[in-house]
Amino acid sequence: MTHARTSPDVEEQPRKRSAVLAEAVAEWPHAFVLLDAARRSVLAFNPRFAALMGLTPQRAGELHGAGVDALGEACASALAEPAALAAALDGERAVGRVELRDGGLLEVSAHRIQCGWLVLLEEATARLRAEDERRTVERRMRELERLEGLGALAGGIAHEFNNLLTAMMGSAELVLDQLAADDARRRQLERILDAGARAARLCEEMIASAGPGAFEVRRLHLSDLVHHTLRLLQPSTPARVRVEERLTPELPATAGDAAQLRRVLESVFLNACEALEARGGLVRVATGVSRMPARQLESLYFASGAPAGDYVWFEVSDDGLGMDAATQARMFDPFFSTKFAGRGLGLSSVARIVRGHKGAVEVESGPGRGTRVRVLVPVCE
């Protein structure tokens, strides 16, 4: 009986294919993890994944066949959020991201294949950061356009209303001139004229908020300006509100309109006091200087024309109830208020003044976390 013998070439072919496959997996530029069909067990991962996650060869070998949670725990030291990897591996067909502790970003995508799920983790820090910055700039531009539209509308209404006030007040003054000094009707006319004057001042404020305005620019020292403004605001501070000053001495000078910057501080400070008026609390006012790169400025309010460089700032923080995202989105709208009865233009004038100084505003708040508002203006050259 003759026995067929297997050719050495036939035996070698599977080994060659395995070697080629292993080499391809090892040289694959992107990290990947292969999961079973139920997405509960790790079937394999490549050296690129192990290197990204800081896994030693011994530890990597132990994780083959382990559960997804065990893999996530083993990689936790390399991640900014330890649970992020397990969450990403669990997302069917989802495209998400995982942030590494060193600041790098991995884009995660899951693909159904015959033996289970192939999860790719592509290093995409530059692209994802650029997309984040683009979305931030687009959001800020939309916000700026919306505020400018509201300001133009308010300014147009104010012009028309001011014309009506001029006629009303002129007629009242003519009648007042015709009455005797002891005529009882003079008191009513004087009250009309007083109310008309207050309405005219409100119109001027609305018109100023609608346009860039004119500034009287001079060299300023911000800590001095803040200190003197807080002294003037003492009578307006509610009795249950404590004020703490943390002013940095000898700050670099800035160029600006002192009256307008006082107005910004007054608006932000009184807004913080009103947030604490009912239950009391602490308002902190601080000053300082920071170097602001363009990327960081782009994430702030009204910073579209602000150049990168050194900025002096004042900030007002309170330990009140804070604001949710919806409230923050409208906090600079004309006449917006979270109170039942609003108080004038609110913080809308801040936008015009800050843009006029080529500055920016940073807001940090959240429900139950209080609010911090920082106003930045460029340092003098």
Burial of 227 (0-12, 13-18, 19+ CB in 10 A): middle
**Predicted local confidence at residue 10, as pLDDT:** 47
Alpha-carbon distance 378 to 310, whole Å? 6
Domains of the chain, CATH where assigned: 14-123 (3.30.450.20), 136-210 (1.10.287.130), 218-378 (3.30.565.10)
**Predicted local confidence at residue 209, as pLDDT:** 59
Work out the number of other CB atoms within 10 angstroms of the CB of residue 42: 22
Helix (H, G, I), strand (E, B) or coil at 81: coil
How many residues does the structure list for the chain? 381
- The beta-carbon contacts of 159-167 under 8 Å, at least 24 apart in sequence, are 159/203, 159/207, 161/199, 161/203, 162/200, 162/203, 162/204, 162/207, 165/196, 165/199, 165/200, 165/203
Low-confidence ranges of the chain (pLDDT < 50): 1-4, 6, 10, 18, 21, 340-345
Helix (H, G, I), strand (E, B) or coil at 41: strand
Q: Are 71 and 42 in contact (CB under 8 A)?
A: yes
Helix (H, G, I), strand (E, B) or coil at 49: helix
**Predicted local confidence at residue 227, as pLDDT:** 94
Alpha-carbon distance 264 to 351, whole Å? 9
**Predicted local confidence at residue 257, as pLDDT:** 87
Q: Are 377 and 264 in contact (CB under 8 A)?
A: no
Q: Which of 110, 83, 52, 27 is nearest to 60 (CA)?
A: 52
